[in-house]
Amino acid sequence: MAEDTVSMDKIDIFDTTLRDGEQVPGCKLNSSQKIRIARALEELGVDIIEAGFPISSPGDFKAVQLIATEIRGSVICGLSRAVEKDIKVAAEAIKVAARPRIHTGIGTSDSHIKYKFNSTREKVMERAIAAVKYAKSFVEDVEFYAEDAGRTDDEFLARICEEVIKVGATVLNIPDTTGYCLPSEYGAKIRYLKEHVKGIEKATLSTHCHNDLGLATANSISGVIEGARQIECTINGLGERAGNTSLEECVMILRQHAHLQLETGINTRLLNPVSLLVSEEMGMPVQPNKAIVGSNAFAHSSGIHQDGVIKQRETYEIIDPIEVGLDKSRIVLTARSGRAALAYRLKELGHDVTKLQLDKLYQEFLKIADAKKEVVDGDLQMLMEQTQDILHG
Ligand code: KIV
Ligand code: ZN
């Protein structure tokens, strides 16, 4: 009998660690560091690598050029403002790429139009059209960003999207630049564009959500549920202010919720190694409780949870750590741990103890645990040596 085949829609992963992520204070990278990360992103299966903002400095121009020369498996994208000089320099930096893309755009919210540009909606529209036309004279693949789209009037946003599609924009980036939107609002914005922009089938809608209210990942997922087919994101959620959408979170959400019928081409077993590489190269530690890649993401410390996980991993884990590039979950021993966790760890260290011995050892263990934040293997070895008489007496 034929098996039911579920058709999955592909979501393109556009990684901007090397651009939006690198803008973070203290995260600046040199060319060799950028190329190391670009290689890792290519291996990870990222569809588009935003390699940098070539007009911003000669160093960034060189780094983007280097990435465009070496990386053949991903689209290489360079950022520019809707300014001819920016676009020309971006085009020059990426021209050797196997698949080059120019990312150009302009602020479209009334706040940006009034305060940043002292301009009008109509003039911003003209600049957007001119920028896309100019970028198209260099490359086929042109992505347009409507900066602060999250706070842009939907009707104006739809008009500007329609006009840039007419002159050849292949991707429409709808950034929630300030991280303002609720997931329902951001999703509704994407739906509105799908329903109101003539010619929308000729372009890919893209999410680009910032994390000012901790909603970047939720907004991006809401966007793809409503029809966006590209997610812009970064490793470890790095990015301006509170950060950008975390790549590892989006990829694992889509994987864990297969009923959404959305998939990415990411090799999830490389998520933790790539996270570590980015953290080390940027000198930016990952918060321990960060989903998927934090050091506590697969650590269990309370007695109740430890007992459950030791009996059956799935009781407290929805992801197999192997799937995201870790060996296994961690059982952390603290004063909140129970006998099951102590016995488990002792067994791993080669000590099989009887129930009676465990009862005695547990009382001694609690004394150490109350004095320390975490009881490590060295403490347990010492405990075993110092309690020989109790155990065998
Ligand atoms: O957040 C933003 O709007 C951006 C654009 C430059 C794409 O990073
Ligand atoms: Zn951004």
CATH assignment of the domain containing 212: 3.20.20.70
Q: Whose CA is nearest to atom 7 of ligand 1?
A: 145
From 145, 172, 189, the mutation candidate for ligand 1 (largest count of ligand atoms within 8 A of CB) is 145
Q: Whose CA is nearest to atom 6 of ligand 1?
A: 147
Asked if residue 327 and residue 258 are part of one domain, the reply reads: no
* Residue where a domain stops, chosen among 254, 282, 310: 282
Taking only the tens place, the pLDDT of each residue in 244-258 is: 999 999 999 999 999
The DSSP output letter for 314 is G
Asked if residue 232 and residue 86 are part of one domain, the reply reads: yes
Q: How many domains does the chain have?
A: 2
Position 4 confidence tier, pLDDT thresholds 50, 70, 90? low
Mean pLDDT over 2-31 rounds to 91
**Ligand 2 center to residue 206 CA distance, Å?**
12
DSSP 265-311: ---GGGHHHHHHHHHHHHT-PPPTT-TTTSTTTTEE-SHHHHHHHHH
Asked if residue 83 and residue 178 are part of one domain, the reply reads: yes
- Give the ligand with the smallest distance to the CA of 147: 1
Asked if residue 318 and residue 256 are part of one domain, the reply reads: no
Q: What are the CA-CA distances from residue 138 to residues 93, 127, 133, 281, 325 (Å)? A: 11, 17, 9, 33, 40
Of ligand 1's atoms, which has the minimum distance to the CA of residue 19?
8
Q: Is 83 inside a domain boundary?
A: yes
Q: Residue 61 sits in which domain range?
A: 9-282
CATH of the domain at 349: 1.10.238
Q: Is 291 inside a domain boundary?
A: no
Look at residue 374 and tell me whether its pLDDT is greater than 80.
yes
The CA distance from 1 to 344, in Å, is 45
Of ligand 1's atoms, which has the minimum distance to the CA of residue 145?
7
Asked if residue 205 and residue 74 are part of one domain, the reply reads: yes
Asked if residue 98 and residue 53 are part of one domain, the reply reads: yes
- Residues enclosing ligand 1, CB less than 6 A? 20, 145, 147, 173, 175, 177, 208, 210
Name the pTM for this structure.
0.95
Q: Whose CA is nearest to atom 5 of ligand 1?
A: 147
Asked if residue 238 and residue 118 are part of one domain, the reply reads: yes
pLDDT of residue 264: 98
Asked if residue 223 and residue 119 are part of one domain, the reply reads: yes
Of ligand 1's atoms, which has the minimum distance to the CA of residue 79?
6
Position 5 confidence tier, pLDDT thresholds 50, 70, 90? confident
5: three-class secondary structure by DSSP: coil
Distance of CA 354 to the CA centre of its chain: 46
Of ligand 1's atoms, which has the minimum distance to the CA of residue 244?
1
**Ligand 2 center to residue 340 CA distance, Å?**
46
Q: Average pLDDT over the chain, rounded to whole?
A: 96
Look at residue 390 and tell me whether its pLDDT is greater than 80.
no
Proportion of the chain above pLDDT 90, given as a percent: 97
From 177, 178, 212, 244, the mutation candidate for ligand 1 (largest count of ligand atoms within 8 A of CB) is 177
Asked if residue 144 and residue 196 are part of one domain, the reply reads: yes
pLDDT of residue 1: 44
**Ligand 1 center to residue 351 CA distance, Å?**
56
Q: Is 288 inside a domain boundary?
A: no
The CA distance from 343 to 354, in Å, is 9
Quick check: 186 and 151 in contact, CB under 8 A?
no
Sign (positive/negative) of CA torsion 320, 257, 272, 332?
A: negative
pLDDT of residue 346: 97
Of ligand 1's atoms, which has the minimum distance to the CA of residue 103?
7
Q: Is 289 inside a domain boundary?
A: no
Asked if residue 158 and residue 99 are part of one domain, the reply reads: yes
Taking only the tens place, the pLDDT of each residue in 213-244 is: 999 999 999 999 999 999 999 999 999 999 99
Position 183 confidence tier, pLDDT thresholds 50, 70, 90? very high
Q: Is 188 inside a domain boundary?
A: yes
Q: Whose CA is nearest to atom 1 of ligand 1?
A: 177
* Residue where a domain stops, chosen among 282, 314, 339: 282
**Ligand 1 center to residue 177 CA distance, Å?**
6
Of ligand 1's atoms, which has the minimum distance to the CA of residue 173?
7
Q: Whose CA is nearest to atom 8 of ligand 1?
A: 20
